[in-house]
Structure 1
Amino acid sequence: MSFTMEQRLPEPWLCLLEHLQEVDHGQDELGFCMKYDVLNAHQLFVITAGEGEAVCPDRSWKLKKGVILLVPEGITITMESSRKPRKKLQYFKLNLARSGQASKSEAFVPSPGSRSGVGAVTELYYSPWSSCIRALEQMLGRQQTSDSWMARWEQQLAFQNWFSMLIKYNESSHEQPDSRRRIQTSVRYIHEHFDQPMTVDELAGSIQLNRASYTRQFKEATGQLPLDYVNEIRLERSKQLLQMTDDRLHDIAQNVGFSNEYYFSRRFKQYTGVSPGVYRRHQRQDVRVFAPFLEDFVLALGITPVMQYSHQIWGKQGYLELHHVPEFDVTSQDAKLDEHELPDFIMLDDGHVRWNLERLERLAPTYYLKHQGEDWRGILKSTADVLGKANRIQEVIGTYEEKAYEAKTRLQRKIKSQTVAFLRISATTIALYGANNGYVGPIMFQDLGLKPDSCVSQWAGQQRRINIELEQLPGLNADHLFVTFDGEKSTFPGEERGIMDSREWSQLKAVRNGCIYEVDFLTWMNYGILSHGKKIDDILRYLG
């Protein structure tokens, strides 16, 4: 018998979030098994990493990334982690309280003879998974600083939004028990027949769904619209053919399912940033690239740029150690590329506007990256496509993620609940960086799991950074404070450091306790993957 979500959660089923915590069985203080007695609240376990098993008196569930268990009150469950060091369980645990005056009879009542009925532990899913984790991480961050009624209210709103998406996703699955299987069948068909003409109506009709239902369910399962998914399969295959064959573009377009060469070339450039011809050429030679502000990504992919950007005040990105690469001063409108070292092409991010770098377009083909800085994975992928280094993407990302994971584990053992903040100080401003966006927050507070000082969330919110007044500074109560000094606005060398002689500076908790750490400006004021790795090194040097 199949139960709908309404049957699983009879009215009043509305819940409030009582507490959210992140559990890591890899920490020394945690054992192999964790036993939870769910007495007065329902619980949700959202598995984020590792492997293991959830055991109840009458059933067990295999656990891995992506599994969500809903455990009603009155049930005891044991979470058993794998003993392998890299397979230790990690999960979010949410304690839920029933809203209103629900009676025990209205709560999750076990259904006799059925393991999946009302009252039983229920396995749920959420798609897209990245949205699920991002929402939970943001809720955890809010919880750590929810010391006002407004913050607590916003926390509940965020939870209700996440919880409603979870319910809707699983309700659609129960409305049509075989919908997930049918979408999987459609995805397999696309992979096997991408070179043939296909429309959304035909794809929907092949699994007996109308167009609207098919499109909705397909996007829930894959995160993409059907034709976008089809075109991505075709374009990835065309990249392989451009690398491995000398076939004409017309033939490649036909082989992967595009109706004509012109449409294929247009879609290919939208997808990769370069034309098919340029992509093929870059795959077969060492490309010469000038990529001001993007040298980090270029170098991470194994290519040395022909020139590197520098700034009259900030200097060059010393952490990249491009000692023998000529410099290009972006602050000088007279700066020119060496005519003997002209690049095959130029790559620019949105910083080109501030420095008027579009003036270089006449010297070489120029490609603009549209990604937000926080989307460094997207920047890396686009850069790799332009450079013909797509085969390096997973290796580069995997190396970073392993480094971040090991650092996070080490830091959680060492500093536990101590708080952290980051300041950028110039002669005219004090900038506090937020927890969720910007050069620092996603690395420090998300990838490494450090706990932000309450002021970080209260003052900066979702902003990348916010300028604060000197009088506000003593209110920053972080146990550990990272600082970088920006000399751009200084009228004389070292003016930006004058703040260190102020009474407000001396009142900072981190200053009094000797827990203030100065870090390199350009290393930390950068979105590059190599700079992120250096930030982790700095943090471990001071805190690990």
Structure 2
Amino acid sequence: MPIELSYNPWSSCLEVLDQMLRQQETSDWLTQWDLQLRFQEWFRGLLQQNDPRNTCQDHRSLLQRSIRYIRDHYNQPITVDELAADTRLTRSSYTRQFKEMTGKLPLDYVNTIRLERSKQLLQLTDDRLHDIAQNVGFSNEYYFSRRFKQYAGISPGVYRRHYRQEVRVFAPYLEDFVLALGVEPVLQSAHHSWGKQRYLGLDHIPEFDVTRQDAIFNESHKPDFILLNAGHTRWNLERFKHTVPTFYVNHQGEDWRSILRSTADVLGKGNRVWDIVGTYEEKVREAKDLLARCTQGKTVAFLRISATQIVLYGVKHGYVGPVMYGDLGLTPHPLVQQWTKEERRIDIRPEHLAQLHADHLFITFDNVDSVMHGEERKLLDTTEWKQLPAVKRGHVYEVDFLSWMNYGVISHGKKIDDILRFMA
């Protein structure tokens, strides 16, 4: 007795059948074998679409199944129409819901899986780029190389070379990420007022003063390449790009995980990222649980103080807020959110400071505008400062400038250590 089966969308069904019909005349047994496997996969999808047990499945579970399918079949031809049909959604609805669940468009997600797998093959094998491209599902080596460079910031060949040998890198104000990945930079950045990032423990590494426009590389410490973030324009460091290969990390500082992944790609250390992030997140969980028992809803604020400014840092953005309020769940004083809104930081006047009745204040001093030694601390002698509730109770905590005014897993770990030391 014949059974009626439906396929949605029908145009996709016709396209697949037409492709298989054009290939069936081949005499090559491997092509015939591939054709049989593809037909069985297509027929399996047809049966799944018409399985009455699937009619009650919600779209989320179907999308999860679709994601599993992509992970298992990333090296095969995949179209959005086929993926949408398997979930019984229209192409536009499937694309929208897929992005809501994964943060990526379907084909971008497919390419991410392919590129991550290609990184593993570049690390572990000596296969030609052509073979790796074919293995992970790209149609040709040139398209693969272009997509890989867009994704990782460097070509597949450079990625493989960096992974297999020690590299000499100069990464001004990205040393936190480089060191977290187990690589010591050949030089460390320094600032004429701020000094060097002592929290990284790189005292044995020569300094390079980024504020000196005439600074050049000593031949014995010349890097193989330079890694720059968005702040490089401040120091005019792109002046070296014609003599030393230069790579750029364009993520916002708050997205430190993406910066870490991009840095790992350039250094050939992609296999370390998962452990580093996992260790940090475990540290956050333990600290958050402890602070929740100790703080009992007490409010917190963070100030950066110089000779000319009082800077209040916001809740969602910047060096401090995502860790203090986001990761650790501390409660910002209401004025912190009200004044900063979506800004990373704002300047406040001494008369406004008097309204900041936070239970706990974290502060750091910036000496960049100081004419005389210690001038940045003159605020501490004012009436507005002495009348603050946190000052009266002894709940003001001074922290290291550069470890708090930085992004990176080491920097953020230091912030957590300081917060626990003072508040737990």
TM-score bucket of the superposed structures, by smaller chain: 0.7 to 0.9
Q: Which residue of 2 aligns with 1:289?
A: 169
Paired residues, number: 371
Q: Which of 360, 370, 384 is the equivalent residue of 1:480?
A: 360
Mapping of residues 73-472 of structure 1, within 5 Å: 177-472=57-352
Q: How far apart are 1:179 and its partner, in Å?
A: 2.9
Give how far 1:411 is off: 1.6
Q: Tell me the distance in 1 between the aligned counterparts of 2:241 and 2:331.
A: 44
Report the counterpart of residue 519 of structure 1 in structure 2: 399
Structure-2 separation of matches of 1:295 and 1:226: 34
- Give secondary structure in 1 for the equivalent of 2:226: strand
Mapped to 2, the partners of 1:464 and 1:541 lie a distance apart of 25
Query: Within 2, Cα distance between the matches of 1:454 and 1:208?
Result: 47
The superposition leaves residues 115-136 of structure 1 with CA deviations (integer Å, 9 ceiling, x where unpaired) of: xxxxxxxxxxxxxxxxxxxxxx
- The DSSP-based 3-state class of the residue aligned with 2:203 is coil
Distance 1:199 1:428 in 2: 59
User: What CA deviation, in whole Å up to 9, does each residue of 1:129-176 have, x standing for no partner?
Assistant: xxxxxxxxxxxxxxxxxxxxxxxxxxxxxxxxxxxxxxxxxxxxx997
* Letter aligned with residue 374 of structure 2: G
Unaligned runs of 5+ in 2: 1-53
Per-residue Cα deviation, 1:77-114 (whole angstroms, up to 9, x for no partner)? xxxxxxxxxxxxxxxxxxxxxxxxxxxxxxxxxxxxxx
The Cα offsets for residues 463-514 of structure 1, whole Å up to 9 and x where unpaired, read as: 1111001111111101111111111011111111111111111111111111
SS in structure 2 at match of 1:340 = helix
CA shift in 2, pair 1:239/1:475, >3 Å: same
Distance 1:447 1:176 in 2: 38
Confirm whether residue 493 of structure 1 aligns to residue 384 of structure 2: no
Amino acid of the structure 2 residue aligned with 1:237: R
Provide, for residues 291-345 of structure 1, a one-character-per-residue CA deviation record: whole Å limited to 9, x for no partner.
Answer: 0000001111111100000000000000111011000001000111221222221
Seen in structure 2, the aligned counterparts of structure 1 residues 192 and 435 have a Cα distance that, compared at 3 Å, is closer
How far, CA to CA, are the matches of 2:295 and 2:310 in structure 1? 26
Structure-1 separation of matches of 2:361 and 2:55: 52
Distance 1:184 1:454 in 2: 40
* Residue aligned with 1:362, SS: coil
Judging by fraction of residues, say which structure has more helix. Answer: 2
- 2:253–2:407 Cα contact (<8 Å) kept: yes
Name the structure with the higher strand share.
Answer: 1
Take 2:305 and 2:292, find their aligned partners in 1: how far apart are those partners? 28
Mapped to 1, the partners of 2:196 and 2:125 lie a distance apart of: 41
Q: What is the CA–CA distance in structure 2 between the aligned matches of 1:462 and 1:269, rounded to whole Å?
A: 33
C-alpha separation in 1, matches of 2:95 and 2:249: 29
Please, what TM-score do these two structures have when normalized by structure 2?
A: 0.84
- State the TM-score, normalized to the length of structure 1: 0.66
- How far did 1:178 drift? 4.3
8 Å Cα contact 2:59/2:87 also seen in 1: no
Q: Secondary structure at the match of 2:361?
A: strand
Alpha-carbon distance between aligned partners in 1 of 2:240 and 2:165, rounded to the nearest angstrom: 23
- What is the Cα deviation at residue 266 of structure 1? 1.0
CA gap of 1:473–1:208, structure 2 versus 1, over 3 A, is closer
Cα distance, 1:225 vs. partner?
1.2
Q: Alignment partner of 2:172: what SS? A: coil
Query: Using the alignment, how far apart are the partners of 2:75 and 2:291 within structure 1?
Result: 50
Deviates more, 1:325-334 or 1:508-517: 508-517
Aligned partner letter, 1:227: L
State the alpha-carbon separation in 1 of the partners of residues 234 and 206 from structure 2: 22
Q: Quick one: distance in 2 between partners of 1:336 and 1:248?
A: 38
Q: Residues 216, 337 of structure 1: CA spacing in aligned structure 2 closer, same or farther, 3 A cutoff?
A: same
Residues 53-92 of structure 1: CA distance to partner in whole angstroms, max 9, x if unpaired?
Answer: xxxxxxxxxxxxxxxxxxxxxxxxxxxxxxxxxxxxxxxx
* SS across alignment from 2:354: helix
Greater relative CO, 1 or 2 (CA 8 Å, sep 6+): 2
**Structure 2 Cα separation of the partners of residues 316 and 394 of structure 1:** 28
Deviations 1:2-48 (A, max 9, x none): xxxxxxxxxxxxxxxxxxxxxxxxxxxxxxxxxxxxxxxxxxxxxxx
State the alpha-carbon separation in 1 of the partners of residues 331 and 65 from structure 2.
44
